[in-house]
Amino acid sequence: MTVHSLGIEVSCDGPDESRDCPASAAIRACFTSMTAAQVRADGREDGWVRRHRGGQLVDLCPDCNPTP
């Protein structure tokens, strides 16, 4: 049996620390994106951002991003 990685899913961390993303959003990765960095690059094309919050980096979908 051969195992192949299906890639990485990056999901939204929500509008703030106490709430999950209301849409349960996840970045739609391209078929060739196999690392988190590649998937995040795909997401930036759709308006996703990576911000510092509470001493951590979080991934935010366009709906949960506090600034345009």
Every domain of the chain and the residues it spans: 1-62
Residue 68 pLDDT grade (very low, low, confident, very high; cuts 50, 70, 90): low
Cβ distance 51 to 13 under 8 Å?
no
Tokens for 6? 């299906």
Could you report the per-residue pLDDT of 6-59, keeping only the tens digit for each?
678 899 999 999 999 999 999 987 888 888 899 999 999 899 999 999 899 999
DSSP 60: E
